[in-house]
Chains A and B, each alone.
Chain A
């Protein structure tokens, strides 16, 4: 899953990006309001983490703009302005969650997870599809026979995205968008290679290839 992180602090921003990457997210970091607004409007992210005190354009204005033009992106506001009225105003503006700094990383990850589950209309915390279940904490997959298979970062992101959208036709470009960060090398052959490696780990049948269109996860098995 790909996140947009809009945070202007030169030390805290990259550190948080690192933490989020470690937790299995592809993260694009932007350090000002105008770029953040543009990225959120034009790229397809699964969620955005938005600071409020941003240079060039305040976070609340960015959020207001997104909501006005109909960007549905789930937004978690992460700010040190955490008086109750500020939280209420943030939610009224269209944020989906509001977390005050300082925070514990686990809290942020839990809230982010809850936010993503809400946006995917899932209720159970454990992601499971087509007999597989994904351990998001440890970034590994548990197969139908109970065996645990370790995944690399990209494999984990790819499998998670497919497990969130089981039975749906996923084009290579859509997979690329949600698995890679914006500045990564987007070669569709790379996706093919990762699909191949995933098939080796979880079984060939689970990922079906539609030539020229993309892939369907768990479609045939269900």
Chain B
């Protein structure tokens, strides 16, 4: 059982049942005692009034002056009974007893006794007996009262109490449920936010949460930040390395072009610096790629592609290329912006390089992100294209004009568990590159 809400319900329910049960039992017990005491004290009074009504004749025979007795003792089976035992064993019984018997015993003078017994008509009786001295005679008086109506009343009260307790229990549990739901609401929201985080729609969690989980949320945010910083740092470090390496390479290249160097040396120098540059470039780009899974990753084609296209228009300022792009306006989540710009930059650059005047691209998001880029150039010959298609998506880095660019594209596609297809564009006639990326995997 892992639901906190259920745990709280059971905990509170059990303690309430225990508490209310104890309370109910105490109240019931106290009421019972109270009733008993009241009944006993009334019986004592009754016994005393019977004692006053007792008369002894000269022979010591006991009689009662009936007029001084309550009429309740005349009514048969009224629930109020008495019995008087004389010294000689004679017995005086109340008329209400009718022909029922009450077990009796003679008590020593001054002795009192209370007991319970079942009387006539299954009545539940409390018997009170005591021995008295009157006019030199010793007499035992026993008075009884039926307490079943009282007991019934007590039971009724107890039932009422029980019913109220049950209702109260449910009301309390319901209120608790409400409170629990309310206090857990921020947690559900947090859960929803974490899902958004996974999808890359947000890049940190809201820290306005209850104190109990705030530490957790702050820690999660801190970790996210640390990871993002680490990625940034390693990317920056690599950028700095590139910066540091490229400048001397650039100088080497320029030195080679100066007058004193011989042609063969110049050629060799250029060859080596070019190789070095390509190596640096390739490894840098590879290391910069992030892949999916970072927090807050999103790519907005509508925001990025126009800027990218104007970069390309400047690079190819000496020819007029019409870029015809279709893309969704909303964010595509779980795609790293840098990766996607690298992908589009390379593909569109290639396309623009070979295009005669038109480049088309489209992005479509279904369960995958589908990207098509095609141009009207003759970037690859039929034979090269056949080679490419036959080899599937394995592209040789040494393919002229498609060296580094497509190799990087392939790396990015692999990072996003995607597919890469090359063929001839049926409409434009140049190279068509089709990609499918699965950012959510």
Residue from the list A80, A88, A115 in contact with B247, Cβ < 8 A? A80
- Most chain A beta-carbon contacts within 10 A, residue among B243, B277, B307, B314: B314
Q: Given contacts A91-B310, A110-B318, A111-B314, is CB(A84)–CB(B341) below 8 Å? A: yes
Expressed in whole angstroms, the minimum distance between the Cβ of A150 and any Cβ of chain B is: 22
Expressed in whole angstroms, the minimum distance between the Cβ of A117 and any Cβ of chain B is: 9
Say yes or no for A146: interface residue by CB 8 A criterion. no
Assess whether A80 is in contact with B246, with CB atoms less than 8 Å apart.
yes
Assess whether A98 is in contact with B314, with CB atoms less than 8 Å apart.
yes
Assess whether B308 is in contact with A88, with CB atoms less than 8 Å apart.
yes
Please choose the segment from A7-15, A137-145, A209-217 that sits at the chain B interface, where 4 or more of its residues have CB less than 8 A away. Answer: A7-15
Assess whether A88 is in contact with B304, with CB atoms less than 8 Å apart.
yes
Expressed in whole angstroms, the minimum distance between the Cβ of A105 and any Cβ of chain B is: 8
Expressed in whole angstroms, the minimum distance between the Cβ of A95 and any Cβ of chain B is: 9
Q: How many A-B residue pairs have CB under 8 A?
A: 70
Assess whether B317 is in contact with A110, with CB atoms less than 8 Å apart.
yes
CA A110 – CA B246 in complex, angstroms? 22
Expressed in whole angstroms, the minimum distance between the Cβ of B3 and any Cβ of chain A is: 46
Assess whether A102 is in contact with B250, with CB atoms less than 8 Å apart.
yes
Assess whether A88 is in contact with B254, with CB atoms less than 8 Å apart.
no
Say yes or no for B16: interface residue by CB 8 A criterion. no
Say yes or no for B239: interface residue by CB 8 A criterion. yes
CA A115 – CA B318 in complex, angstroms? 12
Interface string of A76-118 (1 = CB under 8 A from B): 0001110111011001100011100111000000110011000
In the complex formed, the residue of B with least CB distance to A9 is B247
CA A9 – CA B314 in complex, angstroms? 25
Residue from the list A80, A98, A102 in contact with B311, Cβ < 8 A? A98
Residue from the list A83, A91, A101, A102 in contact with B342, Cβ < 8 A? A83
- Interface residues of B, count at CB 8 A: 29
In the complex formed, the residue of B with least CB distance to A98 is B311
Assess whether A53 is in contact with B253, with CB atoms less than 8 Å apart.
no
In the complex formed, the residue of B with least CB distance to A104 is B253
- B residues in contact with A81, CB < 8 Å: 239, 242-243
Say yes or no for B76: interface residue by CB 8 A criterion. no
Residue from the list B239, B240, B308, B310 in contact with A84, Cβ < 8 A? B308
- By DSSP majority rule, is chain B's interface helix, strand, loop, or mixed? helix
Say yes or no for B424: interface residue by CB 8 A criterion. no
Expressed in whole angstroms, the minimum distance between the Cβ of B2 and any Cβ of chain A is: 44
- B residues in contact with A9, CB < 8 Å: 247
Say yes or no for B323: interface residue by CB 8 A criterion. no
- Most chain B beta-carbon contacts within 10 A, residue among A11, A12, A79, A87: A87
Assess whether A85 is in contact with B337, with CB atoms less than 8 Å apart.
yes
- B residues in contact with A101, CB < 8 Å: 246-247, 250
Say yes or no for B13: interface residue by CB 8 A criterion. no
CA A97 – CA B342 in complex, angstroms? 18
CA A111 – CA B317 in complex, angstroms? 8
Assess whether A88 is in contact with B285, with CB atoms less than 8 Å apart.
no
Assess whether B243 is in contact with A53, with CB atoms less than 8 Å apart.
yes
- A residues in contact with B253, CB < 8 Å: 102
Interface string of A172-201 (1 = CB under 8 A from B): 000000000000000000000000000000
Q: Given contacts A91-B307, A110-B317, is CB(A85)–CB(B342) below 8 Å? A: yes
Assess whether B251 is in contact with A11, with CB atoms less than 8 Å apart.
yes
- A residues in contact with B337, CB < 8 Å: 85
Say yes or no for B338: interface residue by CB 8 A criterion. yes
Assess whether A85 is in contact with B338, with CB atoms less than 8 Å apart.
yes
- A residues in contact with B242, CB < 8 Å: 80-81
Assess whether A12 is in contact with B243, with CB atoms less than 8 Å apart.
no
- A residues in contact with B251, CB < 8 Å: 11-12, 15
Assess whether A87 is in contact with B311, with CB atoms less than 8 Å apart.
yes
Q: Given contacts A83-B288, A111-B317, is CB(A102)–CB(B249) below 8 Å? A: yes
Interface string of A1-37 (1 = CB under 8 A from B): 0000000010110010000000000000000000000
- A residues in contact with B277, CB < 8 Å: 102
In the complex formed, the residue of A with least CB distance to B245 is A80
CA A110 – CA B239 in complex, angstroms? 26
CA A102 – CA B247 in complex, angstroms? 7
- B residues in contact with A15, CB < 8 Å: 251, 254
Say yes or no for B345: interface residue by CB 8 A criterion. yes
Assess whether A91 is in contact with B246, with CB atoms less than 8 Å apart.
no
Say yes or no for B31: interface residue by CB 8 A criterion. no
Say yes or no for B333: interface residue by CB 8 A criterion. no
- A residues in contact with B318, CB < 8 Å: 110, 114
CA A103 – CA B249 in complex, angstroms? 11
Say yes or no for B440: interface residue by CB 8 A criterion. no
Expressed in whole angstroms, the minimum distance between the Cβ of B284 and any Cβ of chain A is: 8
Q: Given contacts A81-B242, A83-B288, is CB(A91)–CB(B249) below 8 Å? A: no
Assess whether B246 is in contact with A102, with CB atoms less than 8 Å apart.
yes
Assess whether B314 is in contact with A85, with CB atoms less than 8 Å apart.
no
Say yes or no for B78: interface residue by CB 8 A criterion. no
CA A111 – CA B314 in complex, angstroms? 7
B218-270 at interface with A (beta carbon < 8 Å): 239-240, 242-243, 246-247, 249-251, 253-254
- B residues in contact with A103, CB < 8 Å: 250
Say yes or no for B344: interface residue by CB 8 A criterion. yes
Q: Given contacts A11-B251, A12-B247, A80-B243, is CB(A88)–CB(B341) below 8 Å? A: yes
Besides the known contacts A83-B345, A88-B341, 8 further A-B residue pairs in the complex with CB atoms under 8 A apart:
A15-B254, A81-B243, A83-B342, A87-B308, A88-B345, A102-B246, A102-B250, A114-B317
A residues touching B (Cβ–Cβ < 8 Å)? 9, 11-12, 15, 53, 79-81, 83-85, 87-88, 91-92, 96-98, 101-103, 110-111, 114-115
- Chosen A-B contacts, 9 in total, with CB atoms closer than 8 Å, are A80-B246, A81-B243, A84-B311, A84-B341, A85-B342, A88-B341, A91-B311, A102-B277, A110-B318
